[in-house]
Chains A and B, each alone.
Chain A
């Protein structure tokens, strides 16, 4: 496929060759081949263009044009922030259960997993690949869930697999402490690209909470291209929070693929506040019976931010339940795209699928393109979907006014309440409080208790 924009693939090609050469002597041959195949695929696909139906509303030409450099500033720590500042992005609940990545590289001096049960694995992906205890699990899962054939960004990430996180919850282990993967962009003005890669495998009847966070110490442009693969085995449970608070000038592209085993439970909440342009391709596949999943999200954007969520919830087997609630709050000239596909395949009888996308427009210049899609091939199912785009309700405003609340404050209160339906389900207190504060900060409002 030829893209109409000139892609600056040359700098990626150089960086790719450097990585392959550097890792060739010690690296696993399967990984060398995987990267090679993925890079070849990326060169064929290039970055998507708006002529591609799936990218119709999201123009990534700026990413292609900008000369984001992969791996340039791993060594530029001289202009980076101090350890104390970086560590402050962590959460009290995950002090001893977090991996902190700065510009894509694991900082072991800032990370600690001592608070996790000994049998739980959370370590740098490149180490896991070389560790014979985990290499087999990694090899049989990595890039087996997130398909790089169809998506240029996923292919690009796969071509650079090296740094990232491997999380493994062994059979029957229940981890009460949430595990946080914190990706910090640091060092203004270096025009960097980082490609975080996460593989989480939860074995039979295990249970865990994963927090995936993206933050920045500066306001300048950079490019994050993340791929997260989640594999839940039979009866496993995962609460998965993704909190995207990149800089307002950043580009954030991410793919999440969750493959859910028999009778597993997957509860995900995706919060999108940051980035000038963000795109999340989120795919949840239920190829086994008895699965229940939640695929919820909130995007809160303003000014000229653009956010795009493409989700696929795929019911392939009977007796699975999916719930999806995505809410959006748009101010300024911001724009949001929600494209949610729910597939109910021929064999997926007794499917229960519910999908809702609700948008609140705070300005006349904001715009939403929402497209919930339901494709049902089975005949004994319970499915519903809907989308709404609206403004603050006048009756609600009047009600608050009759209680002496100024209309500006009332608008903020109602907007906060709109966000709360999603934020309120987050069970990690400090993260929820942080997001509440961020919403209120955006609204310039003041509310406690």
Chain B
């Protein structure tokens, strides 16, 4: 589904990603972990097409298409979704309006009939159950005045409505209390199926107790420093990231070429 080959990218002339290679197949859940500044959030933003980041080398193929040639909204309509670490507030636009607009943009792209407000209301009501959100959230402005947990749940609600092929969740666990974490993770688990894939970008192992990845990739200094199964996350929890950072800097791990 997704193939990242020797990806180099940065911001304002500073290279942050220094040769990432990653392959993701449908049905898989991957965790991208790493210390602050390792480049894991940059990777998420580059996949979503954030205009501030510049790709200097390498390629990204999504279902065989060159992802880097597509604008952010085109990527989204192709089926890539990013849940933001800090979801943006959109005052004056209700959640229901916003979601219906996004949903219909995707339907149009797929050559399907758009849903009218009433039809969409039914769909929204159904999808909102995934993150245990009640109707009052739908008439409120997008994320405005939402608590941290509500914003993250709202991100997963958007994922539930848009049904992406590939969901990239950027630090979705940050700032969540245990109840909100349970709801958010529960939502992601319900939405994951053999036809889609999930990338979890996270600093902490805690999220992975709830959403269990098959693959864990640890970033350090812009490269994948170590890869493994879910047990790698537990090892990191125990040892911290310092040993990896040193290893990556000195090249002693040798996992990643170029």
Contact = CB atoms under 8 A, between A and B. Distances in A.
Given A417-B93, A418-B91, A420-B93, A404 B109 contact: yes
A394 B51 CA distance: 9
Interface in A370-413: 394-396, 398-407, 409-410, 413
B88 interface: yes
Contacts of A413: 90, 93, 98, 101
A197 B140 CA distance: 40
A418 B49 contact: no
Contacts of B25: none
B82 interface: yes
Contact of B92 (A398, A407, A421, A448): A421
A416 to B, nearest CB: 7
Contacts of A400: 73, 90, 98, 102
Contact of A419 (B51, B71, B92): B92
Interface in B8-66: 48-51
Contact of A401 (B71, B90, B120): B71
B72 interface: yes
Interface in B65-122: 71-73, 75-77, 81-82, 84, 87-88, 90-94, 96-98, 100-102, 105-106, 109, 116-117, 120-121
How many of chain B's residues touch chain A, expressed as a range?
Answer: 35 or more
B92 A404 contact: no
B88 A421 contact: no
A404 B104 CA distance: 9
B106 A424 contact: no
A31 B86 CA distance: 64
Contact of B102 (A398, A404, A418): A404
Of B71, B91, B116, chain A has the most CB atoms within 10 Å of the CB of B91
B76 A403 contact: yes
B158 interface: yes
B76 A398 contact: no
Q: Which of B73, B75, B91, B120 has the most CB of A within 10 A?
A: B73
Nearest to A449: B117
A113 interface: no
B76 A401 contact: yes
Contacts of A394: 51
A424 B94 CA distance: 11
Contacts of B101: 405, 409, 413, 447
A413 B92 CA distance: 9
Interface residue tally on A, bucketed by range:
20 to 34
A401 B88 CA distance: 12
A409 B102 CA distance: 10
Nearest to A404: B76
Contacts of B196: none
Given A394-B51, A404-B76, A404-B105, A447 B97 contact: yes
Q: Which residue among B76, B101, B105, B141 has the maximum number of chain A CB atoms within 10 Å of its CB?
A: B101
A416 B82 contact: no
B73 A401 contact: yes
Nearest to B72: A401
B220 interface: no
A399 B105 contact: no
Contacts of A395: 88
Contacts of B82: 402
Contacts of A448: 97, 100, 116-117
Interface string A417-447: 1111100100000000000000000000001
A414 interface: yes
A406 B70 CA distance: 12
Q: Which of B72, B98, B109, B121 neighbours the largest number of chain A CB atoms within 10 Å of its CB?
A: B72
A432 B96 CA distance: 18
A426 B136 CA distance: 20
Interface in B198-217: none
B44 to A, nearest CB: 10
A100 to B, nearest CB: 32
A405 B92 contact: no
Most chain A beta-carbon neighbours within 10 Å: one of B49, B87, B93, B106? B93
Given A401-B49, A404-B76, A449-B117, A416 B93 contact: yes
Contacts of B109: 404
A343 B134 CA distance: 45
B51 A403 contact: no
A409 B105 contact: yes
A424 B92 contact: yes
Contact of B73 (A407, A416, A421, A449): A407
A73 to B, nearest CB: 41
Given A398-B51, A409-B101, A420-B93, A404 B87 contact: no
A106 to B, nearest CB: 37
B162 interface: yes
A402 B92 CA distance: 19
Interface centre among A403, A407, A414 (most CB of B within 10 A): A403
B107 to A, nearest CB: 10
A447 B48 CA distance: 25
B102 to A, nearest CB: 4
Nearest to B77: A404
A404 B91 contact: no
A421 B102 contact: no
Contacts of B93: 413-414, 416-417, 420
Given A399-B84, A414-B90, A449 B97 contact: yes
Contacts of B76: 401-405
Interface in A36-54: none
A405 B98 CA distance: 9
Contacts of A403: 73, 76, 81, 98, 102, 105, 158, 162
B88 A396 contact: yes
Contacts of A399: 84, 87-88, 90
5 contacts: A402-B84, A405-B76, A405-B101, A420-B93, A447-B97
Given A401-B73, A402-B72, A421-B91, 9 more contacts: A402-B48, A402-B49, A402-B73, A409-B101, A409-B105, A413-B93, A414-B90, A448-B117, A449-B94
- Nearest 8 CB-CB pairs, A to B? A417-B92, A420-B92, A449-B117, A404-B76, A401-B72, A399-B88, A403-B102, A417-B93
